[in-house]
């Protein structure tokens, strides 16, 4: 009698536990793509019966919130989004679950991703830890209406002896920056705030001049003619061709200068392309286009790559449900719906989708940007490298250090970090 | 003969009885973290390998002291702390004295000065970034209307730290006012009446009655504001990230980066312990000074 | 003549000071009534005006939840910390409980940068099973408020007060009565100020709230910080949210009117 009662009680308990709908809790940063995912989540719940709770925090503070969670053996988050900055750190510390088994058993196709995306926020040393979520590769926003103005065209030709048009090379672009700094307009607005805005933006200058951060053996290759030239161009652009105070602009201040129609160009994250056509933020709707940052030759690009990936932490309370969510959110269908709302794709089949291209004609430019982009060094100490680089660049822009001296410091500290990480022998 | 000592013992018991709940709570929650931090400071503890396997003794301390960037950040912080604490005290004391002397509109003045205090530093930083935008901000626009050249508030190495000081004053000066005003309202009235009978002027009364009676409150106000000012990091994080160059790289932000960017919690703990020792030294000095006055 | 001068001068100074505080807030109010493009127009234009940002903070963001969480946590943290700190401060001031060492020790925990405390503190709440709960935030905020409030209040219990209490003790009052009936009323302005600052400490605290909160328990500072997005600052809704979050001050004014004017002074008891 008693046993039956206990058994019945236990059964009822077990049943009711099943009746409880499972919840996938995900910590996300506040970006447009998070908003888009939020609108699609009800479809997932309808399909699987699993609830989704998205906790949104300030992107810059997210790392601080995540670390204690990840150090703990059992955390609160089923799945995470991971910036490429943290990939090295998180995998080295062993905080993420490898996804290869799940990918294989569910036959999830990762070959649809742009290969550079998988390199950046997918695989680390051959193991897949993440599915690329959205990309924030940097591109060149420029005022196409100013380029098309016949008066500008004539003046430019007279001054530089070449036609004014969409810049094919980096040098051509720099000439345009100089040219458009007139009549209260600035040729370019820069984001000179340390550490990541300046470090990320300057990376484009480095790549555009044909430079790279390191050679195949992780030996730093910054302190040379190219590196110095890139820094000099950068500080000239801030001082001579940019608005007052650009040395401390974050992307918000810089974007607002561009959106108020006061600058010809701005090198920034590609999702600002959608923002510039929002009439509540921008007075230059329809006048701005985006393109890959031009490289030293017309065939090469100078864009910096960047992305966030989905991952399941080791401390996840319900990894299986989390994987279900990842599979759903990264399916062609969901990814496409997100792109149609204005999101940044990472999948080739979304980039090439006719509907997406019809709605956003610049989708092909974004794809081109990814294909010609360069990756920032991804290793355990990426954030610290960004910090060092940001500090030294900021010192040069502030006029407190010579370019070569600053680059030498970056090289020393970078080599030290790479050595600590076992990358540099 | 043994009565005074029983009274004393009862006093002591009553004192512990009154402090027990608070102490118990503090012990339960904060004691472990503080000792954890001190313990970590003598180990090679990083976020990549969060364990206490390697005891390093004072190596983290030596590294921290040997780091010129860290010393630079300490120097900048002292400059900032000295600036905000003294200026806020000067303004705060004057306003508190005035506020104590008026009756009409007092709640309105008080309500207004509470507003900045109820704003989070993150918000204060963000809205001031907007106001101080060199070309799109209202402040520089008003300056140009007055035909003053626009100021590069956050982008110049010479100006940036003072801009942060200015914003901090706007945000935190009311903290001083609230405390000093409370101190003033708690002052006894008789000495003033006696002084008036003796024909002493306002200034004399201030110098010989208000100031001496206010010392304990003044010292505590300065001390607490100082501790908060040393910990300022949100404002810098939002407004300059320690830049341009290293012009506003305050020590709290520096420690934050050592722990969560460089992932070196051991060294960050050592830096914190050094900071703790410095503030503790200053506090006990101020505390003793306060005792000697009363 | 001199008398009017004496009345006018404070009001002039206070008006100038209040204007310095309030002018940025007025501009903030204006930003809250327009969109981002208008907010950044220089020279300023009237542009679009409306309450769309106020609508947005309630519709698109969990403003109500942030606000109520913050209010609840700050009120409870203050309600708990104020009597506790008052009692301990009294013990420190009157009986020198624990000596200077304990006094400094209590405050010392607040001299470490919170970023160092946050990792082990997370561990404490993980151990207690309180992560992501409002209780965790209240307790965390208590540990910040208690040391500061105690120090503030000690300074209000020191001084002439002791003699008064002794007189009462001679008249047969117990220690508790001396504390309750004499010390507390005389130190009332200090207790009120300390309570106010305790509330503000909790209301504005960001780091612990960020790390210890979860879905549904985010506080106002954490929620508002998420308006600084990777795609720029949502400055207009942010301004609207700030304006709304300041409104309680004005609800507080009638209360302040009664208590602010003067604390019970020593003279009143003699």
Closest CA to B131 of B110, B151, B147: B151
The verdict on C215 touching A (C-beta cutoff 8 Å) is yes
C222/A57 CB distance under 8 A = yes
Those residues whose C-beta lies under 8 Å from the C-beta of residue B60, and which sit 6 or more positions away, are B41, B42, B44, B266, B267, B269, B270
pTM of the complete model: 0.91
Please judge whether C159 and B213 are an interchain contact, meaning their C-beta atoms are less than 8 angstroms apart: yes
In the numeric block, which tokens belong to residue A296? 């030293």
Q: Which helix (H) or strand (E) holds A52?
A: strand A51-57
Contacts of C44 (CB under 8 A, 6+ apart): B138, B141
Query: What are the chain B neighbours of A249 within 8 Å (beta carbons)?
Result: 155
Half-sphere exposure of B236 (CA within 13 A, CB side): 29
C residues 92..131 contacting A (CB < 8 A) = 115, 118-119, 122-123, 126, 131
CA quadruple A117, A120, A124, A130: dihedral positive or negative?
negative
As a residue count, chain B comes to 294
CA B206/CA B192 separation, integer angstroms: 9
- Answer for the pair B96, B180: CB distance below 8 angstroms, yes or no: yes
Given this model, what pLDDT does residue C136 score?
93
- Chain A environment of B144 (Cβ under 8 Å): none
CA distance B242 to A391: 9
* Contacting subunits of A (3+ beta carbon pairs below 8 A): B, C
pLDDT at A10 over 80: no
pLDDT band at B245 (very low <50, low <70, confident <90, very high): confident
A39 touches chain C (CB under 8 A): no
3-state secondary structure of A24: strand
pLDDT in tens, B48-101: 888 888 898 899 999 999 999 999 999 999 999 999 999 999 999 999 999 988
Residues of B in contact with A63 (CB under 8 A): 260
CA angle B263/B268/B271 to nearest 5° reads 160
Q: Is A32 on the interface with C (CB under 8 A)?
A: yes
**Residue A136 · residue A271 · CB < 8 Å:** yes
Find the angle CA(A38)-CA(A41)-CA(A43) to the nearest 5 degrees: 145
What's the pLDDT at B147?
Answer: 92
Is C2 buried (19+), middle (13-18) or exposed (0-12) by CB count in 10 A? exposed
Judge residue B23's burial from the number of C-beta atoms within 10 Å of its C-beta, 0-12 exposed, 13-18 middle, 19 or more buried: buried
Question: What count of other Cβ atoms lies within 10 Å of the Cβ of residue A149?
Answer: 14
- B134-182, pLDDT tens digit by residue? 989 999 999 999 999 999 999 898 999 999 999 999 999 999 999 999 9
Residue B294's pLDDT is 58
Q: Is A31 left (phi over 0), alpha (psi -120 to 50) or beta?
A: beta
Q: With left for phi above 0 and alpha for psi between -120 and 50, is residue C159 left, alpha or beta? A: left
Give the tens place of pLDDT for each residue, B90-100. Answer: 999 999 999 98
Task: Give the DSSP H/E element, type plus range, for residue A290.
Answer: strand A288-292
pLDDT in tens, chain C (270 residues): 667 777 889 999 999 999 999 999 999 999 999 988 888 888 888 777 889 999 989 988 999 999 999 999 999 999 999 999 999 999 999 888 888 889 888 888 888 888 888 889 998 898 888 888 999 999 999 999 999 999 999 988 887 777 788 888 888 888 888 888 888 888 888 898 899 999 999 999 999 999 999 888 999 999 999 898 888 888 999 999 999 999 877 777 777 666 665 544 444 443
Tell me: cis bond preceding A404? Omega within 30 of 0 counts: no
Q: What is the pLDDT of residue B197?
A: 86
């Amino acid at each position: 009698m008693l046993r039956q009662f206990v058994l019945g009680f236990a059964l009822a308990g077990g049943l009711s536990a099943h009746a409880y709908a499972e919840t996938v809790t995900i910590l996300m940063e506040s970006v447009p793509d998070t908003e888009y995912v939020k609108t699609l989540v009800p479809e997932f719940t309808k399909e699987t019966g699993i609830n989704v709770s998205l906790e949104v925090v300030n992107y810059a503070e997210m790392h601080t919130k995540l670390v204690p969670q990840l150090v703990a053996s059992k955390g609160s988050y089923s799945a995470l989004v991971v910036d490429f900055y943290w990939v090295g750190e998180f995998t080295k510390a062993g905080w993420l679950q490898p996804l290869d088994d799940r990918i294989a058993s569910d036959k999830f196709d990762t070959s649809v991703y742009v290969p550079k995306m998988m390199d950046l926020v997918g695989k680390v040393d051959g193991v897949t830890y993440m599915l690329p979520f959205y990309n924030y590769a940097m591109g060149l926003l420029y005022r196409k209406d100013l380029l098309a103005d016949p008066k500008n065209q004539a003046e430019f030709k007279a001054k530089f002896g070449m036609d004014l048009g969409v810049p094919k090379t980096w040098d051509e672009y720099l000439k345009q920056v100089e040219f458009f700094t007139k009549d209260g307009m600035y040729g370019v607005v820069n984001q000179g705030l340390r550490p990541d805005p300046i470090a990320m933006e300057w990376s484009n200058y480095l790549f555009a001049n044909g430079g790279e951060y390191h050679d195949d053996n992780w030996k730093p290759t910054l302190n040379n003619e190219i590196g110095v030239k890139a820094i000099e161009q950068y500080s000239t652009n801030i001082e001579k061709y940019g608005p007052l105070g650009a040395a401390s602009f974050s992307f918000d201040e810089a974007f607002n200068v561009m959106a108020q129609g006061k600058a010809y160009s701005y090198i920034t994250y590609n999702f600002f392309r959608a923002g510039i056509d929002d009439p509540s933020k921008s007075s230059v709707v329809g006048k701005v286009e985006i393109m890959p940052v031009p490289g030293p030759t017309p065939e090469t690009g100078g864009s910096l790559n960047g992305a966030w990936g989905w991952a399941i932490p080791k401390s996840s309370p319900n990894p299986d449900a989390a994987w279900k969510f990842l599979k759903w959110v990264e399916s062609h269908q969901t990814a496409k719906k997100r792109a149609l709302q204005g999101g940044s794709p990472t999948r080739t089949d979304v980039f090439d989708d006719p509907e997406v291209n019809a709605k956003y004609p610049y989708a092909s430019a974004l794809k081109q940007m990814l294909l010609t982009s360069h990756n920032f060094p991804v290793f355990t100490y990426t954030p610290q490298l960004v910090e060092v680089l940001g500090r030294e660049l900021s010192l040069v822009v502030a006029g407190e250090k010579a370019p070569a001296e600053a680059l030498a410091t970056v090289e020393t500290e970078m080599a030290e970090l790479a050595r600590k990480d076992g990358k540099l022998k | 003969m043994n009565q005074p000592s029983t009274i004393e013992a009862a006093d002591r018991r009553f004192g512990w009885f009154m402090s027990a709940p608070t102490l118990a709570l503090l012990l339960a929650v904060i004691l472990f973290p503080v000792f954890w931090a001190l313990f970590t400071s003598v180990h090679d503890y990083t976020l990549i390998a969060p364990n206490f396997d390697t005891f390093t003794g004072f190596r983290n301390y030596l590294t921290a002291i040997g780091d010129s960037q860290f010393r630079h950040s300490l120097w900048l912080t002292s400059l900032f702390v000295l600036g905000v604490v003294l200026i806020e005290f000067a303004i705060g004391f004057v306003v508190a004295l005035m506020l104590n002397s008026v009756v009409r509109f007092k709640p309105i003045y008080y309500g207004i000065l509470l507003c900045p205090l109820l704003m989070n530093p993150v918000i204060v930083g963000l809205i001031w970034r907007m106001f101080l935008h060199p070309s799109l901000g209202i402040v520089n626009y008003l300056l140009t209307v007055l035909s003053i050249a626009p100021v590069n508030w956050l982008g110049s190495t010479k100006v940036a730290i003072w801009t942060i000081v200015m914003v901090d004053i706007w945000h935190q000066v009311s903290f001083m006012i609230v405390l000093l005003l409370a101190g003033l309202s708690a002052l006894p009235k008789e000495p003033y009446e006696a002084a008036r009978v003796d024909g002493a002027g306002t200034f004399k009364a201030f110098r010989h009655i208000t100031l001496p009676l206010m010392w304990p409150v003044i010292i505590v106000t300065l001390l607490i504001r100082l501790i908060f000012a040393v910990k300022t990091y949100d404002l810098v994080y939002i407004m300059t990230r320690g830049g341009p160059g290293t012009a506003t790289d305050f020590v709290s932000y520096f420690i934050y980066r050592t722990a969560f960017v460089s992932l070196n919690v051991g060294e960050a703990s050592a830096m914190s312990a050094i900071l703790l020792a410095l503030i503790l030294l200053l506090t006990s000095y101020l505390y003793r000074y306060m005792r000697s006055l009363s | 003549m001199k008398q009017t001068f004496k009345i006018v001068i404070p009001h002039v100074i206070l008006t100038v000071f209040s204007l310095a505080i309030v002018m940025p807030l007025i501009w903030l109010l204006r930003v809250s009534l327009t969109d981002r493009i208008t907010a950044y127009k220089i020279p300023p234009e009237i542009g679009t005006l409306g309450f769309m940002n106020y609508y947005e903070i309630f519709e698109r963001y969990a403003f109500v939840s942030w606000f109520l969480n913050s209010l609840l946590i700050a009120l409870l943290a203050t309600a708990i910390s104020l009597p506790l700190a008052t009692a301990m401060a009294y013990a420190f001031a009157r009986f020198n409980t624990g000596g200077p060492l304990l006094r400094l020790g209590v405050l010392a925990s607040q001299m470490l940068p919170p970023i160092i405390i946050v990792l082990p503190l997370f561990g404490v709440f993980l151990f207690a099973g309180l992560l992501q709960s409002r209780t965790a935030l209240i307790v965390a905020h208590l540990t910040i408020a208690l040391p500061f409030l105690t120090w503030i209040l000690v300074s209000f219990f020191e001084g002439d007060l002791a003699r008064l209490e002794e007189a009462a003790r001679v008249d047969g009052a117990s220690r508790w009565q001396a504390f309750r009936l004499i010390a507390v009323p005389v130190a009332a302005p200090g207790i009120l100020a300390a309570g106010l600052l305790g509330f503000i400490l909790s209301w504005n605290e960001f780091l612990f709230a960020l790390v210890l909160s979860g879905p549904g328990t985010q506080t106002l500072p954490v929620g508002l910080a998420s308006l600084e997005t990777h795609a720029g600052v949502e400055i207009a809704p942010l301004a609207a949210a700030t304006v709304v979050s300041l409104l309680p001050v004005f609800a507080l004014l009638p209360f302040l009117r009664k208590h602010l004017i003067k604390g019970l002074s020593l003279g009143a008891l003699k």
